[in-house]
């Protein structure tokens, strides 16, 4: 079935948002999804939930057999919560959306996300979720590996100091013991591991639009991204 708006053909597309840690990818992705009536998927939440499982079960990341067996016991699911107006991640039936935002998880997640078998599991599920299009997904390899043919690809950047302040503010609200230094070290470490790993390293897809939001308000960046999306949604 073809959809039309003001006589023009409207199609469902895939929007990918990749970039460095704490650039505001999820904020933008959620806003776009809401505006367009699309599904939002936070791919990082999947790697974080797997990390939580590994930590709880003392999985040795160097033991690939142990890792593979553990992955076989993991079921991930996103369930929409109308109260938070967000799709929240469930690990084997338990809502872990808030637990996975902890610094303990952030300190380990990049090592877990660098494991080939972990990525294979996550990527297969992500591709399945995008089958019907009408989706906004954020992460590190979404425009390069998960949906290389996505209609709109955005690559987000921002100055380090700005990113550290943003993440610090977010974590401080939950845990006043957190320090700026801890947050800065964690961001630097994650960016390094995420962009230097062998499997699907973070990089800008050739056809991605770079969005540096150091000096942009949320509203300004949203308007830019919405414009790029609408250009591809409404054709003919
Ligand atoms: O977006 P986030 O900070 O919640 O992501 C957590 C970690 O997961 C990040 O440090 C790298 C990894 N990740 C990834 O490797 N690939 C993705 N598509 C999304 C996240």
Q: Name the residue at shortest CA distance from atom 18 of ligand 1.
A: 139
Please choose, from the candidates 226, 8, 21, 10, the residue with its C-alpha nearest in 3D space to the C-alpha of residue 139. 21
pLDDT of residue 4: 63
Residues 195 and 201 sit within 8 Å (Cβ to Cβ) = yes
pLDDT > 70? residue 1: no
pLDDT of residue 2: 59
Beta-carbon neighbour count of residue 208 at 10 Å?
Answer: 21
> Do the strands 234-235 and 14-19 form a parallel or antiparallel pair, or are they unpaired?
unpaired
Positive or negative: CA dihedral 56, 61, 65, 68:
positive
What pTM was computed for the model? 0.93
20 alpha carbon – ligand 1 mean position (Å)? 9
Q: What are phi and psi of 50, to 5 degrees?
A: -65, -40
- What's the whole-number average pLDDT of the chain? 94
Percent of the residues in the chain that have a pLDDT greater than 90, as a whole number: 90
| Pairwise CA distance, residues 217 & 220, whole Å | 5
pLDDT of residue 234: 85
Ligand 1, CB within 6 Å, residue ranges: 21, 43-44, 47-48, 109-110, 113, 139-142, 190, 194
Taking only the tens place, the pLDDT of each residue in 25-77 is 999 999 999 999 999 999 999 999 999 999 999 999 999 999 999 999 999 99
Taking only the tens place, the pLDDT of each residue in 96-129 is 999 999 999 999 999 999 999 999 999 999 999 9
Residues 164 and 184 sit within 8 Å (Cβ to Cβ) = yes
2 alpha carbon – ligand 1 mean position (Å)? 35
Place of tokens 């979404």: 142
pLDDT band at 187 (very low <50, low <70, confident <90, very high): very high
**CA of 115: how far to CAs of 16, 18, 100, 123, in Å?**
22, 19, 18, 12
138 alpha carbon – ligand 1 mean position (Å)? 9
234 alpha carbon – ligand 1 mean position (Å)? 31
Q: Name the residue at shortest CA distance from atom 16 of ligand 1.
A: 140
Beta-carbon neighbour count of residue 31 at 10 Å?
Answer: 19
Q: Give the residues across from 19 on adjacent strands.
A: 156
**CA of 145: how far to CAs of 24, 87, 119, 123, 208, in Å?**
21, 23, 10, 8, 13
pLDDT of residue 191: 95
Taking only the tens place, the pLDDT of each residue in 223-232 is 999 999 999 9
pLDDT > 80? residue 6: no
Domains and CATH numbers, the chain: 13-230 (3.40.50.300)
pLDDT > 90? residue 9: no
2 or 165, higher pLDDT: 165
pLDDT > 90? residue 7: no
Residues 110 and 189 sit within 8 Å (Cβ to Cβ) = yes
pLDDT of residue 3: 63
Task: At 104, list the tokens.
Answer: 């303990």
């Amino acid at each position: 079935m073809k959809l039309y708006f003001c006589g023009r053909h409207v199609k469902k597309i895939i929007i990918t948002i990749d970039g460095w840690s704490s650039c505001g990818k999820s904020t933008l992705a959620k806003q776009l999804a809401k505006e367009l009536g699309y599904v939002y998927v936070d791919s990082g939440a999947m790697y974080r939930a797997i990390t939580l499982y590994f930590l709880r079960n003392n999985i040795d990341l160097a033991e690939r057999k142990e890792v593979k067996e553990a992955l076989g016991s993991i079921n991930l699911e996103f369930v929409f919560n109308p109260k938070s107006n967000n799709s929240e991640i469930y690990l084997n039936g338990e809502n872990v959306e808030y637990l996975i935002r902890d610094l303990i998880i952030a300190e380990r997640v990049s090592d877990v996300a660098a494991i080939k078998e972990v990525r294979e599991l996550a990527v297969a599920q992500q591709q399945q979720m995008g089958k019907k299009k009408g989706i906004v997904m954020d992460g590190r390899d979404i425009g390069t590996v998960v949906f290389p043919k996505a209609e709109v690809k955005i690559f987000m950047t921002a100055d380090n100091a700005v990113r550290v302040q943003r993440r610090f503010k977010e974590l401080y609200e939950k845990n006043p013991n957190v320090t700026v230094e801890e947050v800065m070290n964690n961001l630097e470490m994650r960016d390094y591991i995420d962009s230097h790993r062998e499997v699907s390293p973070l990089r800008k897809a050739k056809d991605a639009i770079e969005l540096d939001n150091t000096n942009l308000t949320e509203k300004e960046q949203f308007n830019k991204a919405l414009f790029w999306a609408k250009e591809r949604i409404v054709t003919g």
